[in-house]
Each structure stands twice: as structure tokens, then as C-alpha cells.
């Protein structure tokens, strides 16, 4: 069983979970107005940011701002815990969307890319194992908790330190602005007059462990990831993927025993509407529901972890925090939401989250729950088909010669084109080719994240006469979009996950894949390595694996 050992939330509202919780209880929000990076008044934005004074205090010599936040959050969470950091059975999982993207133009950027950055922090903390970076757009935080829970259940580790973080940067702010997703005022989740989201910077740490001695404390009971296979940046209007994730984690749970649902609630038109539909379709309309975006903004990679931790504390205190910014209901699915705190008495909740690439996730957590009867069983798989493409190869030529008839190929960034081609060539070997199903996942790994398209997008935000941030390039700066493209092409309504590792570590990838089959609905996975650094350095090494 996987239990919470300790946690930390580090935001502009406080350096500990307790400080943050007290701030929320008194109704404080970290959202405030900031001048634009572009120098144009119309690009001014609302966000939750650390003050210069806080930043000065938190910066660690030799680390970037992103790394400093993670370092402080993990250190604080660890204080008072007795954890053998140097053990080969201690896992470090980092959840982030854009890591050190604010340093993209630095000549040393290679050294601070996601996996390298995670490794540096791990070493500084004294953790010896290879870190896993979960990069699944906005659902990364919940996805990281689920990955850790599965890896612990599989018996490969005793303890997992799961930390999520993202920082505010010109790159991310301009990107969300190009998508017309940013609210010009503090966000109003689920409200009839909601205008979009606000971004926030934060770090949050959840330390998890396998405990056999005692069954008290918060238990991460079950988690699921589901893709809409609808569109790479818009959620399915009915929220099928979101509903499917909720329904998987609440299967067998008496819904009357749920204290609360903490949703994503970004305050964009589409997200909140879709979530309301998914909540109603899952029979959770009566359960007290809230979202924390009105306090912290959308903290991207930190969000899923931060919000899970705050909800644990909230449920333990018997009070669900009010949804700040909400006033009049503006969604069509029935939900139990209030701007005021709601008293709650039971001891379990569901955390829900959705993101670009069509991905959704849910995790079910329970306090002092009896051990579930279903025990973890070790999973093995067999490799059915295999394909490998490396540089130098002309991707467009391969597409034209061997695939064709999918004009969307030309809209994709290089990472997606490479992944799309590899998946098509892999599936050509399958007879009959499986389409429209809910039992096949797409799980990919790489080293270079989305660096090629990151640089392409960066060119569109050079401040000057020609300042036109490109929405289509920005969407592809999330590497997990390729999993969404493959799910969309084939109608796979199941898990899609993207991980960043320091090296093509076959053993670590094998462990992640084997534990992915812990999702009982899965029968097969399109799995593999997918790295695109530049046109002279790329590799796709895909396998179709099936559960034994």
C-alpha cells in the first residue's frame, strides 16, 4: 500500500503546507497584476509570482530558479522524516511542463534540460537513483503521483519523493496568451463570466512510501490516466476521457463515502464546462467540489501535487475550501460548488485534472482506509512488433512513400512527425490493425524533451516589430502532444504518458512500462524511445507490447 509520509507546498503565500493552508482559510490569493514581457500594455497579465524579496531568499547558489524552488520544497518536506536518501530503493520523480525554459537562450541550456536538471537536484539532495521526469502537460503532477504509486507497488522502491514545479517565464506567458487562454482579471472558475486562466509559480512535494506496519494516514489508493482522442489542445466537450479516469478510480467505491472532489477548474470556457459534464456523468454531482486556481493560479507541473496535498489537509480539517472567484454557475453539468467553505465529514476524495494532448487523470485518496483486498500483481509483457528510425532520415519522404493520406502530418513539429511515422510503421505490422479502443496506452520516453520546437517557438517571441507568438508552435512545446497525436490518429481512449530520462535506460523504462500495466484496463502499449534534438540527432525506437 502506498501512503503519504510527508509533504510541502511552497508558493508566494507560504513556505510550508501549514502556512499555505492558513492563508487559504483566511481567503488570501496570490494573484496579482504584472507588466508584460513584450513591453506592450495589452500583454500585461495576472499571475501568482514570488516577490523579488522572496526570490532572493529562496535562490540557491549554483542552481536555477526552478531548481531552487524544488530544492527548498523537497528539503522542507524531508525535515523530520527518516528517509534513506542514498538508498537504491529511494525514487525521485519530478513533474514539470517547461522546467528551465526561462534559460533557453543560455549557452549552457543543454546542462539544465529537464532530466539533467532533475539529476543535479537529486545529487544535491543526496539521492542516488536515476530520476524520472514526468512531462504530461497540465496533468503532470497527478501523473507523477500515479507513476510513483505504481513503482512503489511494483516493489522496486520503498520510498518515492514526488515533486512538481514550474516557473513563470516569457515563453509560457506569451504561449498561453497566443492561445487566448489568459484572463485579464483574477480567474473565475466555473463562473458564468469566466474569461480564462491565470498562471502561477509554485513547488510542491509529496513523499510516499510503502508501509506495512500501520494503516493510518493518507493512502494513494488508485489512479488512472485517460486520453480523449479528440483534439490535441481542446478537451472533448462531453469530457469522456475525464469521466473515464474518474470512473476507473472510483470503481467499487461507495460514492456516498467521498468527502470531496478537487477539480482542475482552470476557469477557461472549455475546461470547466467539460469537467462539469464528467463530474455529472460519474455520479458526483452532489459531492462538494472545489478548485484552488483562484488562490494560486494554474501552477502547471506543480498543480496536481499542490492541489492533492491541500485537499488532503482540507479533508483532514473537515472543511472544503471555497472556490475563490466563483459567483454564479456557468457550466451545464450539475456540480456542488460554492465560493464559501463547505463542511465535510468523510475521509476520502478524488483529484481530477486535464491537459493538452487530450490527457486526463484522476487519483483517489483515502485517510485511514482499510487495505484494499486486491493486491498488486507483478506484470510481464511480450514484444509483438518493433520499429527503429534514426537520423539521417528524410521524415517527409518516409511519410510520402510509406504512409500518406494524413495531411495533419505537415502541421506537426519534428518530434510529433517522427513519433507519428514510427507508430504508423509499427502498426502496419499489426494485423488486423487495432483502432478505436480503450485498452491500448501510448507511453514514450526521451532525453531532449521538445527542444527543437522550443527553439522554433522562441523565434516568434523575440521582442520587436515582428512579435507574433505562434499558438500552433506553442502547443507542440509540450512533448506529450505526440502521445495525443498517436491516440487521436488511432482512437486510443486510454493512458498516454511522456517521461524524460537522462539516458536511454532500458531497465528503468522496462520498470515503468511493467508498472503501467497495473492499470487493469490495459492490454497493450505502444512504447518506446522518441528523441529529436535536431535534424542530425534523432531516434525513434518503438515497440508494441502486450500484457502476458
Partner 1 sequence: MEELILELKKKIIQALNLEEMSPDDIDTDDALFGEGLGLDSIDALELIVLMEKDYGIKLANPAEGKAIFKSVRTIAEYVSQNRKK
DSSP three-state, residue 41: helix
If the CB atoms of residues 305 and 475 are measured against partner 1, the closer one turns out to be 475
Minimum distance, C-beta of residue 271 to partner 1, in the bound complex (Å) = 13
Q: ∠ at Cα 237 (495, 292), nearest 5°?
A: 75
Q: Judged by CB under 8 A, which stretch of 5-13, 76-84, 154-162, 176-184 contacts partner 1?
A: 176-184
Q: Judged by CB under 8 A, which stretch of 1-9, 226-234, 306-314, 447-455 contacts partner 1?
A: 226-234
| 36 contributes a contact to partner 1 by CB under 8 A | no
If the CB atoms of residues 172 and 232 are measured against partner 1, the closer one turns out to be 232
DSSP three-state, residue 494: coil
Query: Which residue of 370, 407, 432, 536 would you call a contact of partner 1, by CB under 8 A?
Result: 407
Contacts of 476 (CB under 8 A, 6+ apart): 412, 413, 415, 416, 450, 453, 457
Minimum distance, C-beta of residue 270 to partner 1, in the bound complex (Å) = 9
- Per-residue cell: 439: 485498452
Query: Which residue of 40, 57, 180, 428 would you call a contact of partner 1, by CB under 8 A?
Result: 180
Minimum distance, C-beta of residue 218 to partner 1, in the bound complex (Å) = 38
| 233 contributes a contact to partner 1 by CB under 8 A | yes
Query: What is the x/- site pattern for partner 1, positions 424-443, by CB under 8 A?
Result: --------------------
Minimum distance, C-beta of residue 232 to partner 1, in the bound complex (Å) = 8
Q: Judged by CB under 8 A, which stretch of 314-322, 361-369, 464-472, 496-504 contacts partner 1?
A: 464-472
DSSP line for 222-254: EEEEEE--S-SSS--TT-HHHHHHHHHHTTTS-
The secondary element (H helix, E strand) that includes residue 396 is helix 395-398
Grid coordinates 489508493 are at which residue? 221
If the CB atoms of residues 53 and 465 are measured against partner 1, the closer one turns out to be 465
| 472 contributes a contact to partner 1 by CB under 8 A | yes
DSSP line for 416-461: HHHHHHHHHHHHHTSSSPP-SBSSEEEEEEESSTTHHHHHHHHHTT
Determine if the peptide bond prior to 116 is cis (ω within 30°).
no
Kindly calculate the radius of gyration of the chain based on its CA atoms and give it in whole angstroms.
22
DSSP three-state, residue 282: coil
Minimum distance, C-beta of residue 472 to partner 1, in the bound complex (Å) = 5
Query: Which residue of 178, 423, 450, 515 would you call a contact of partner 1, by CB under 8 A?
Result: 178
If the CB atoms of residues 230 and 295 are measured against partner 1, the closer one turns out to be 230
- Per-residue cell: 393: 532520415
Q: Where are the alpha helices (DSSP H) in 35-181?
A: 52-58, 65-78, 114-125, 140-153, 170-178
Query: Which residue of 36, 130, 379, 470 would you call a contact of partner 1, by CB under 8 A?
Result: 470
Q: Report yes or no: 297 and 187 within 8 Å, Cβ to Cβ.
A: yes
If the CB atoms of residues 233 and 511 are measured against partner 1, the closer one turns out to be 233
Query: Which residue of 28, 471, 504, 521 would you call a contact of partner 1, by CB under 8 A?
Result: 471
| 418 contributes a contact to partner 1 by CB under 8 A | no
If the CB atoms of residues 412 and 514 are measured against partner 1, the closer one turns out to be 412
Q: How far is the C-alpha of 245 from the C-alpha of 258, rounded, in Å?
A: 16
Minimum distance, C-beta of residue 367 to partner 1, in the bound complex (Å) = 41
Q: Report yes or no: 416 and 482 within 8 Å, Cβ to Cβ.
A: yes
Long-range contact list for 393-397, CB < 8 A, 24+ apart? Answer: 393/538, 395/421
| 410 contributes a contact to partner 1 by CB under 8 A | yes
Minimum distance, C-beta of residue 392 to partner 1, in the bound complex (Å) = 21
Minimum distance, C-beta of residue 487 to partner 1, in the bound complex (Å) = 16
| 468 contributes a contact to partner 1 by CB under 8 A | yes
Q: How far is the C-alpha of 369 from the C-alpha of 389, rounded, in Å?
A: 48
Q: Judged by CB under 8 A, which stretch of 99-107, 126-134, 152-160, 461-469 contacts partner 1?
A: 461-469
- Per-residue cell: 104: 533557453
Contacts of 120 (CB under 8 A, 6+ apart): 63, 67, 112
Site for partner 1, rule CB under 8 A:
178-180, 231-234, 407, 410-411, 466, 468-472, 475
Amino acid at each position: 500500500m502506498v501512503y503519504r509520509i510527508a509533504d510541502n507546498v511552497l508558493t508566494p503565500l507560504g513556505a510550508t503546507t501549514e502556512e499555505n493552508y492558513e492563508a487559504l482559510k483566511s481567503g488570501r490569493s496570490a494573484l496579482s497584476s504584472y507588466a508584460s514581457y513584450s513591453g506592450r500594455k495589452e500583454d500585461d497579465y495576472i499571475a501568482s509570482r514570488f516577490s523579488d524579496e522572496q526570490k532572493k531568499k529562496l535562490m540557491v547558489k549554483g542552481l536555477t530558479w526552478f531548481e531552487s524552488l524544488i530544492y527548498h520544497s523537497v528539503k522542507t518536506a524531508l525535515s523530520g522524516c527518516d528517509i534513506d536518501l542514498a538508498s537504491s530503493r529511494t525514487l525521485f520523480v519530478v513533474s514539470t511542463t517547461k522546467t528551465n525554459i526561462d534559460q533557453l537562450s543560455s549557452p549552457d541550456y543543454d546542462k539544465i534540460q529537464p532530466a539533467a536538471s532533475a539529476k543535479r537536484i537529486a545529487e544535491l539532495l543526496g539521492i542516488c537513483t536515476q530520476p524520472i521526469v514526468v512531462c504530461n502537460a497540465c496533468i503532470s503532477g497527478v501523473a507523477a503521483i500515479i507513476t510513483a504509486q505504481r513503482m512503489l507497488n511494483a516493489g522496486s522502491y520503498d520510498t518515492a519523493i514526488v515533486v512538481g514545479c514550474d516557473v513563470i517565464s516569457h515563453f509560457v506567458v506569451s504561449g498561453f496568451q497566443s492561445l487566448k487562454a489568459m484572463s485579464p482579471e483574477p480567474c473565475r472558475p466555473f463562473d458564468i463570466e469566466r474569461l480564462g486562466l491565470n498562471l502561477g509559480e509554485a513547488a510542491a512535494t509529496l513523499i510516499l512510501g510503502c508501509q506495512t506496519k500501520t494503516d493510518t494516514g493518507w493512502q494513494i489508493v488508485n489512479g488512472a490516466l485517460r486520453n480523449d482522442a479528440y483534439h490535441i489542445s481542446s478537451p472533448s466537450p462531453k469530457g469522456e476521457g475525464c469521466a473515464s479516469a474518474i470512473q476507473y478510480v472510483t470503481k467499487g467505491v461507495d460514492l456516498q463515502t467521498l468527502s470531496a472532489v478537487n477539480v482542475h477548474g482552470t476557469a477557461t470556457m472549455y475546461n470547466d464546462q467539460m469537467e462539469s459534464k464528467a463530474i455529472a456523468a460519474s455520479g458526483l454531482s452532489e459531492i462538494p467540489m472545489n478548485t484552488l486556481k483562484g488562490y494560486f493560479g494554474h501552477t502547471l507541473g506543480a498543480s496536481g501535487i499542490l492541489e492533492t496535498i491541500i485537499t488532503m489537509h482540507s479533508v483532514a480539517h473537515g472543511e472544503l475550501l471555497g472556490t475563490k472567484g466563483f459567483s454564479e454557475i456557468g457550466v451545464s453539468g450539475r456540480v456542488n460548488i460554492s465560493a464559501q467553505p463547505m463542511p465535510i465529514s468523510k475521509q476520502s476524495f478524488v483529484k481530477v485534472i486535464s491537459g493538452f494532448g487530450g490527457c486526463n487523470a484522476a487519483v483517489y485518496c483515502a485517510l485511514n482506509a482499510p487495505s484494499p483486498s486486491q493486491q498488486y500483481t507483478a506484470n510481464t509483457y511480450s514484444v509483438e512488433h518493433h520499429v527503429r528510425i534514426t537520423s539521417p532520415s528524410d521524415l517527409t519522404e518516409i511519410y510520402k512513400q510509406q504512409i500518406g493520406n494524413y495531411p495533419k502530418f505537415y502541421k506537426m513539429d519534428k518530434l510529433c512527425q517522427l513519433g507519428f511515422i514510427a507508430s504508423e510503421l509499427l502498426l502496419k505490422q499489426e494485423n488486423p490493425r487495432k483502432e478505436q479502443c480503450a485498452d491500448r496506452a501510448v507511453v514514450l520516453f526521451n532525453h531532449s524533451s521538445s527542444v527543437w520546437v522550443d527553439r522554433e517557438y522562441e523565434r516568434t517571441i523575440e521582442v520587436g516589430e515582428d512579435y507574433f507568438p505562434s499558438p500552433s508552435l506553442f502547443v507542440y512545446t509540450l512533448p506529450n502532444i505526440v502521445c495525443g497525436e498517436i491516440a487521436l490518429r488511432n482512437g486510443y481512449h486510454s493512458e498516454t504518458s511522456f517521461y524524460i530520462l537522462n539516458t536511454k535506460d532500458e531497465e528503468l523504462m522496462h520498470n515503468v512500462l511493467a508498472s503501467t500495466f497495473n492499470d487493469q484496463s490495459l492490454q497493450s502499449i505502444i512504447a518506446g524511445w522518441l528523441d529529436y534534438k535536431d535534424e542530425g540527432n534523432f531516434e525513434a525506437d518503438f515497440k508494441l507490447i502486450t500484457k502476458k
